[in-house]
Amino acid sequence: MLNARGPKQPRRQLLADVVKNMASQHPSFFRGIKAAYRLCALRVCSAFKTVSEEAALVIVGMYPIEILANEAAVLADSEMQRIVARETSTQTLQQIWNNTTKGRWTDRCIPDLRSRIERKHGEVDFYLTQFLTPPSIQT
């Protein structure tokens, strides 16, 4: 997929959702799907492969596959349990984001993940991703 003039974010997100569904249906494929999920996050936000997985997931607003697997194991039939499981996943992701050493510039731009994950408007494209993930500056 082209970064600058390729498909828009919703079509890229569709491919990532296929990988996410494969992980939830076939836990035995988890190791291989984890690598594919990282690549999907990079493709959805049109990032270069040097961008950290954490930063790419935050920019796109996707949960890490490990958190989604834990959430799927907890989910039950009631809507309230789904809401509680999603809230727990969001808090876990925020703690991981606060403690990681990667993607610190992106953390300055997006310190609160809830607003990024729950947004209802706007798309991520190549240029926004380049702004949110500048190359490291050698001093």
pLDDT at 139: 33
Q: Could you report the per-residue pLDDT of 37-80, keeping only the tens digit for each?
A: 888 888 888 888 888 888 888 888 888 888 877 777 676 667 77
Name the maximum alpha-carbon separation found in the chain: 54
What is the pTM for the complete model shown? 0.67
Distances (CA, A) of 34 to 1, 13, 63, 99, 123: 20, 16, 12, 21, 24
The pLDDT-based confidence of 130 (bands split at 50, 70, 90) is: confident
**pLDDT above 70 for 119:** yes
Mean per-residue pLDDT, 5-10: 64
Structural domain boundaries of the chain? 9-132
